A and B are shown apart, each in its own frame.
Chain A
Amino acid sequence: MSFIAPQFAPALPEIALAIGICVVLLADLFVSEQRKSITLWLSLATLTVAAWFAGGALPEGSQLTFSGSYVADGLARVLKLFTLLLVGVVFVYSFGYLKDRALLKGEYYLLGLFATLGMLVMISAHSMLTMYLGLELMSLALYAMVAFDRESPVAAEAAMKYFVLGAIASGVLLFGMSLIYGATATLQLDQIAAALAGEGSVTPAVLLGTAFIMVGIAFKFGAVPFHNWVPDLYHGAPTSVTLFVGTAPKLAAFAMLTRLLLTALEPVVEVWAPMLTGLGVLSLILGNVIAIAQSNIKRMLAYSTIGHVGFILIAFATGTAAGQQAALFYTIVYAIMAAAAFGTVILLSKRGYEAENIADFRGLNERSPWFAVMMLFVMVSMIGIPPFVGFFAKLNVLVALINVEQTWIAVVAVLFSVVGAFYYLRVLRYMYFETSDTVEPLVAPINIRLVLSANALAMLLLGVFSEPLLAWCGAVIGSQAF
């Protein structure tokens, strides 16, 4: 038996990222406190190189490598590109925030890059082991990031909760994987599907394993009833970390959803689809209703996330290509919207003052009409008002639902987005209808201003010109061989 070197080309983005992390790690040691922006720029350069490999350097089509446990395909390409882009945006937003609070350590960027590496591995996983590896790499880095501000007891509490619950969820997921492995004797996703496709192969053990895997996925997405960690984490973590946790990992969670449920467990779609619908509807209802009662904007956005996750899950649960395309589009759009929303929260915060309450948006129109309009774009996009992109994400989901005659779920979904409108409007109300006691202009570095403006304007532009992204999502879903 001779050793055959695996093909490394499909994993080039991850390899580039790993090398970049080593460079940043070393370089950061020699960078003085005053010149930490070098670390930021090095990190951004690393992300750019990885994105170049993920986007352009690889050939079209899907490629398996590492004995079939790693895949580079269209879905991986789109998810990786958006993950790297979002992480870059988040790094830019975080810089000033961390600097103001004397939290600006190279480790923030390092942990962020490690988490990104974990996400990329999850996105490309084609075996349950690879998936778990990526998930744990991401999660461990995130736990540490949440506890990053060691002076803050709230952050420590949030990190503890996140860690304990995350560990339990990982355990449950792993248990589900082991049951599936026991039933099918393989870890590779497409072979699991092949093994389950046979007559009489769907045993109780498989069903149990599927249920456990569902729980793991629901936890990582923050779907009701596995959502309790989300508000505490969003609230307790430093805003720059909330920003990180709230955006790119959603894309990785989507990859987990697709790879595990579709590539591997497609033969038992009748089992998991109703469960997923149930989780989705519950998330929609609970997320949107509880968000109304929040006065802290980070908590409010946490519950709003849960509501949006509901949309993603009900679309995915249709089991059709249209539904998966809608879910993918929604996930990407949501991550971009969330980045802009938390970016605005960061913009309003300053040293010794966290703009954590919705009331802190009071009088934003007086202080900065431009950023008031930007936040307006983000909020109405989250409500789902056209021509902003959030609307097209919802439209996509509605089309997928009504196409499979789940019209009643579509009606529930739109009704609860009306409920959701109420709390997003409250932010607008503070921004426009109330005046603040202190009318001081916003101070923020130019790079945050530029990136945030671009991020918010993307809501409008991606909406009016939604065709390219829609077509791209459709193409990568269509090219998946389920």
Chain B
Amino acid sequence: MGLLSILIGLPVVGGLLVLAVGSRTAARLDRWLALAISLVTFVLSLALYTGFNFGTADMQFVERVAWIPAFNIEYYLGVDGISTPLILLSTFLTPMIIVAGWEVIKKHPAQYMAAFLILEGLMIGVFAALDAMLFYVFWEAMLIPMFIIIGVWGGERRVYATVKFFLYTFLGSVLMLVALVYLYLQSGSFSILDFHLLPLPSSAQLWIFLAFLVAFAVKVPMWPVHTWLPDAHVEAPTGGSVVLAAVLLKMGGYGFVRFSLPIAPDASAVLDGFMIALSLIAVVYIGFVALVQTDMKKLIAYSSIAHMGFVTLGFFLVWAILRNTSLADGMSGVQMGVTGAMVQMISHGLISGAMFLCVGVLYDRMHSRQIADYGGVVNTMPKFAALMVFFSMANAGLPGTSGFVGEFLVILASYQANFWYAFLAATTLVLGAAYTLWMVKRVVFGDIANDHVKDLQDMNRREGLLLLILAASVLALGLYPAPLIEMMEPTLVNLITHVTQSKL
């Protein structure tokens, strides 16, 4: 059994084990077991980094066995520079989520931990699958634990939020399923790499692109199919929000680079203006929407949508840049855009996860997410306030944090495409700072607003440790992103050369 199979299987089997142990044991065996499993998974996943060949765009750690020969479906796993960082992000965050729910989750804690472990295995499966049907299996199966997580441990309107989340995502994915079946009938296999090489007429490419777009745009989410996200985020428990923002949204971005761009490059070239427009609307319009939110989680949710706009913008800048210049001259700019988008995905995973954890810390004490209920938190929780301000700065794209790297690269690249793209994208530096820092001002600074704030206890060691680890990784990625960029470079160069060749 290969490393990737172990990374997928261990959390899933471990989750079942945690379920079997149950919540009733006195020593809280379930939590310790869940933590141990997630930590072992994380340590094992580091082997993906140490054993990674930085010099190739080929798939690595490949495992390939026939699964359902009737449809030529294979159990086909492998990773490259695009998927490895995302897998590492998933394995890094899962132990955090388990620790974050340590004492907070009172209702069925074993089921809570198990749901996140199973979800982790499925997320890794999504990023590692190279067979489209295997990918779809993981992609859809993920809905079940997420549906349960939001619905059981969520807030007041959790049922509405979780059903909306499920139906939106499900609607997007079934159309993708139709496209995948079509591609299978054309190519004779479900291998994603075969799909990449399959020549397709432009009308077929267009339909396939649109089918994928529905699936991935919902997941990213892009304006105007984003409305499920604020609801899901607000109602989800802290762990659910973290995993949703940090990993699940990235699957939409991952889908674009793994499916849409390489399978339908000509359709992508035709529709790139449309995609850029949607991305810029997400950046600018959703930025304004975030500004007026009164609920902290909702504000961060909208800020996530705006930040994910940079991801889609970076991916679809390719053709806009190449219209101005040849591939040889424009390569650096194109590469900058795509690399920026990828860095933005990882960085947003860390920062938004941290922001939701911060809100979680406050919520556990006050049971309110309303900005108006807070004020002057710095007076009673100074350590916490320092970290929250740090993450807010990172969210606003402060140089030196990881948030800066991705956004800056994408803005630079968009300048090569069109001045106005760059101009609109750069408004995020103002808007992002405005909505995040204004929230911080109202929540953290100022005089103590009420008696509840007065009684607040500062972070305990558990919470402090979590946020410090995240702060360190945000700083590390901001100051020294080279290892991440080097890991992705050969894959992205290969991707760019692939998508700029017509498949007609």
**Real complex partners, A and B?**
yes
Q: Is the CB of A428 within 8 A of B147?
A: yes
Residues in A whose Cβ lies below 8 Å from that of B133: 395
**Is B421 at the interface (CB under 8 A from chain A)?**
no
Q: Is the CB of A410 within 8 A of B175?
A: no
Known: A395-B181, A417-B174. A470 touches B167 (CB 8 A): no
Task: Please tell me which stretch of A78-86, A227-235, A303-311, A397-405 contacts chain B, meaning at least 4 of its Cβ atoms lie within 8 angstroms of it.
Answer: A397-405
Residues in B whose Cβ lies below 8 Å from that of A470: 68, 70-71
Q: Is the CB of A402 within 8 A of B181?
A: yes
Chain A residue nearest in CB terms to B137: A386
Task: Please tell me which stretch of A95-103, A175-183, A249-257, A418-426 contacts chain B, meaning at least 4 of its Cβ atoms lie within 8 angstroms of it.
Answer: A418-426
**Is A466 at the interface (CB under 8 A from chain B)?**
yes
Q: Give the number of residues in B that approach A within 8 Å (Cβ atoms).
A: 35
**Is B469 at the interface (CB under 8 A from chain A)?**
no
Chain A residue nearest in CB terms to B154: A433
Q: Is the CB of B175 within 8 A of A386?
A: no
**Is A414 at the interface (CB under 8 A from chain B)?**
yes
Name the contact of B167 in the complex, choosing from A398, A422, A432 (C-beta under 8 A): A422
Q: Is the CB of A471 within 8 A of B70?
A: yes
Task: Give chain A nearest CB distance to B307 CB in angstroms.
Answer: 28
Q: Which of A395, A466, A474 has the most CB of B within 10 A?
A: A395
Q: Is the CB of B177 within 8 A of A398?
A: yes
**Is A376 at the interface (CB under 8 A from chain B)?**
yes
Name the contact of B140 in the complex, choosing from A376, A386, A425, A474 (C-beta under 8 A): A386
Residues in B whose Cβ lies below 8 Å from that of A365: 108, 111, 152
Q: Is the CB of B68 within 8 A of A385?
A: no
User: CA of A28 to CA of B137 in the docked complex: distance in angstroms?
Assistant: 49
Name the contact of B181 in the complex, choosing from A383, A386, A387, A410 (C-beta under 8 A): A410
Chain B residue nearest in CB terms to A398: B181
Q: Is the CB of B166 within 8 A of A425?
A: yes
Chain B residue nearest in CB terms to A429: B159
Residues in B whose Cβ lies below 8 Å from that of A386: 136-137, 140-141
Chain A residue nearest in CB terms to B111: A369
Q: Is the CB of A385 within 8 A of B140?
A: yes
**Is A447 at the interface (CB under 8 A from chain B)?**
no
Q: Is the CB of B69 within 8 A of A387?
A: no
Residues in B whose Cβ lies below 8 Å from that of A421: 166-167, 170
**Is A380 at the interface (CB under 8 A from chain B)?**
yes
Q: Is the CB of A395 within 8 A of B71?
A: yes
Interface residues of A in 297-332 (CB under 8 A from B): none
Task: Give chain A nearest CB distance to B453 CB in angstroms.
Answer: 32
User: CA of A386 to CA of B143 in the docked complex: distance in angstroms?
Assistant: 10
Q: Is the CB of B166 within 8 A of A395?
A: no
User: CA of A395 to CA of B144 in the docked complex: distance in angstroms?
Assistant: 19
Name the contact of A399 in the complex, choosing from B148, B174, B184 (C-beta under 8 A): B184
**Is B253 at the interface (CB under 8 A from chain A)?**
no
Known: A376-B144, A385-B144, A387-B141. A429 touches B163 (CB 8 A): yes
Q: Mark B61-76, 1 if CB is under 8 A from A, else 0.
A: 0000001111100000
Q: Mark A384-414, 1 if CB is under 8 A from B, else 0.
A: 0111000110010011001100010011001
User: CA of A466 to CA of B184 in the docked complex: distance in angstroms?
Assistant: 18
**Is B104 at the interface (CB under 8 A from chain A)?**
no
Residues in B whose Cβ lies below 8 Å from that of A33: none
Q: Give the number of residues in A that approach B within 8 Å (Cβ atoms).
A: 34
Q: Is the CB of B167 within 8 A of A402?
A: no
User: CA of A386 to CA of B67 in the docked complex: distance in angstroms?
Assistant: 14
Residues in A whose Cβ lies below 8 Å from that of B137: 386-387, 391
Q: Is the CB of B178 within 8 A of A433?
A: no
User: CA of A369 to CA of B114 in the docked complex: distance in angstroms?
Assistant: 13
Interface residues of B in 128-154 (CB under 8 A from A): 133, 136-137, 140-141, 143-144, 147-148, 151-152
Residues in A whose Cβ lies below 8 Å from that of B171: 415, 418
**Is B182 at the interface (CB under 8 A from chain A)?**
yes
Q: Is the CB of A385 within 8 A of B141?
A: yes
**Is A60 at the interface (CB under 8 A from chain B)?**
no
Q: Is the CB of B181 within 8 A of A418?
A: no
Q: Which of A380, A402, A411, A422 has the most CB of B within 10 A?
A: A402
Q: Is the CB of B175 within 8 A of A414?
A: yes
Name the contact of B185 in the complex, choosing from A385, A387, A402, A432 (C-beta under 8 A): A402
User: CA of A386 to CA of B167 in the docked complex: distance in angstroms?
Assistant: 15
Task: Give chain A nearest CB distance to B438 CB in angstroms.
Answer: 35
Chain B residue nearest in CB terms to A411: B178
Chain A residue nearest in CB terms to B70: A470
Known: A421-B167, A433-B152. A407 touches B178 (CB 8 A): yes
Interface residues of B in 46-79 (CB under 8 A from A): 67-71
Q: Is the CB of B159 within 8 A of A433?
A: yes
Chain B residue nearest in CB terms to A474: B70
Residues in B whose Cβ lies below 8 Å from that of A402: 178, 181-182, 185
Name the contact of A414 in the complex, choosing from B19, B144, B152, B178 (C-beta under 8 A): B178
Task: Give chain B nearest CB distance to A169 CB in angstroms.
Answer: 34
Q: Is the CB of A403 within 8 A of B141?
A: no
Task: Give chain A nearest CB distance to B105 CB in angstroms.
Answer: 15
Name B's A-contacting residues (CB within 8 A).
Answer: 19, 67-71, 108, 111, 133, 136-137, 140-141, 143-144, 147-148, 151-152, 158-159, 162-163, 166-167, 170-171, 174-175, 177-178, 181-182, 184-185
Beyond A402-B178, A414-B177, A429-B159, 4 additional contacts (C-beta under 8 Å) are A402-B185, A414-B174, A429-B163, A433-B162
**CB-defined A-B contacts under 8 Å, sample of 8:** A395-B71, A402-B181, A418-B170, A421-B166, A466-B68, A467-B68, A467-B70, A474-B70
Question: Nearest 6 CB-CB pairs, A to B?
Answer: A414-B174, A386-B137, A470-B70, A433-B151, A418-B171, A398-B181
